[in-house]
Amino acid sequence: MIHFIFLLIKYQIRPLPTDPAELRELASDLQVPHSHKVESALLEKRIQHTLKSFRRDAPYIAVFWLSPLFAAIALLVILFVWISNGMPL
């Protein structure tokens, strides 16, 4: 997941590589299906589509992965308030 985010940011700033070997390596990193069977132009389009779909889904993925962290912070705040009030029952 972190690697996908890194690649997304990297290829927002820089253009995709033009070397076919680098494109195939990038496609395998992004888990593009059938990346070893297609030509470079189609592979570049598939990589762009994968990056675009990940960009669209990234907020949902982030919420899914960060929701336990938010829940733990909320629980710690509640526990802190309860302890600072003298632990009433």
Q: How many separate domains does the chain show?
A: 1
Q: Which two tokens stand for residue 3?
A: 């690697």
Report which of 2, 30, 5, 1 is spatially closest to residue 17, judged by C-alpha positions.
30
| Region of residue 32 (phi > 0: left; psi between -120 and 50: alpha; otherwise: beta) | beta
Average pLDDT along the chain: 85
Reported as a single tens digit per residue, the pLDDT across 7-62 is: 878 888 888 888 888 888 888 888 888 777 788 888 888 888 888 888 888 788 77
CA 3, CA 9: separation in Å to the nearest integer?
10
pTM recorded for the entire structure: 0.58
Task: For residue 53, give every residue at least 6 positions away whose Cβ sits within 8 Å of its Cβ, in sequence order, or none.
Answer: none
Considering the domain boundaries, does residue 89 fall inside one?
no
Neighbouring CB atoms inside 10 A of 63's CB total: 10
Q: Which domain holds residue 9?
A: 2-84
Which position has the higher pLDDT, 35 or 64? 64
Considering the domain boundaries, does residue 39 fall inside one?
yes
Asked whether residue 70 carries a pLDDT value surpassing 90, the answer given is: yes
Return the pLDDT at 89: 67
